[in-house]
Chain A
Amino acid sequence: AQKITQTQPGMFVQEKEAVTLDCTYDTSDPSYGLFWYKQPSSGEMIFLIYQGSYDQQNATEGRYSLNFQKARKSANLVISASQLGDSAMYFCAMRAGGTSYGKLTFGQGTILTVHP
């Protein structure tokens, strides 16, 4: 079975500073995908970034980067130059290798608050 662990219930960051949100995962599949989603108070889940287990380089999408450490089974999200609009719940998720579609296992989330 797959498991995602997010150990930070809440994080605070000053506007324009960088912040790292932690995520560790557990799977026995050699092939898997890792995702980060943002959920603002409106409820919609917004895709941020994706990392495949065989990708050689860490994924980046604008201000978001994924610090992928395969041996440690960690996939931390780094947000650079935080903005007030970044305040939201952030979820780490994994697609197991046994599926080719979007059956994701999510962590419990981290609430990020950006202070002005």
Chain B
Amino acid sequence: DTGVSQDPRHKITKRGQNVTFRCDPISEHNRLYWYRQTLGQGPEFLTYFQNEAQLEKSRLLSDRFSAERPKGSFSTLEIQRTEQGDSAMYLCASSSHGEKLFFGSGTQLSVL
């Protein structure tokens, strides 16, 4: 059990570019979540997968955002045509059927 892994840890991009983040959950966890955290705030829920099915998307997830979990293992979060307001920490978490969420260390996105 190596914990939840996220890659990259930091990403700097120019406005208008596309970026993709990867999350590798704990191997036996079938539930996977993406959260977004802006400076000085608590994390906000973005989306939830159970196995490969995306079961809920927050209204925060605009059409420029897409998340996938193709084989029910790792997940990717893509942001198209990035805007400065997308600058944030993107956190991935996983869980089994219990209450406890295990979070990764996040990907810090800076849009210039």
Contacts and interface: CB of A to CB of B under 8 A. Distances in A.
A43 B33 contact: no
Interface residues of B, number: 25
Contacts of A37: 103
Interface string B30-55: 01010000001111110010100001
Contacts of A33: 99
Interface stretch (A14-22, A62-70, A73-81, A104-112): A104-112
Is the contact region of chain A dominated by helix, strand, or loop, or is it mixed? strand
A interface, size bucket: 20 to 34
Interface in A83-116: 91, 93, 95, 101-109
A56 interface: no
A11 interface: no
Contact of B105 (A4, A44, A50, A101): A44
Contacts of B41: 108-109
Of B95, B99, B102, most A-chain CB atoms within 10 Å = B99
B95 A102 contact: yes
Interface in B47-72: 48, 50, 55-56
B40 A108 contact: yes
A47 interface: yes
Interface of A: 4, 33, 35, 37, 42-47, 50, 52, 91, 93, 95, 101-109
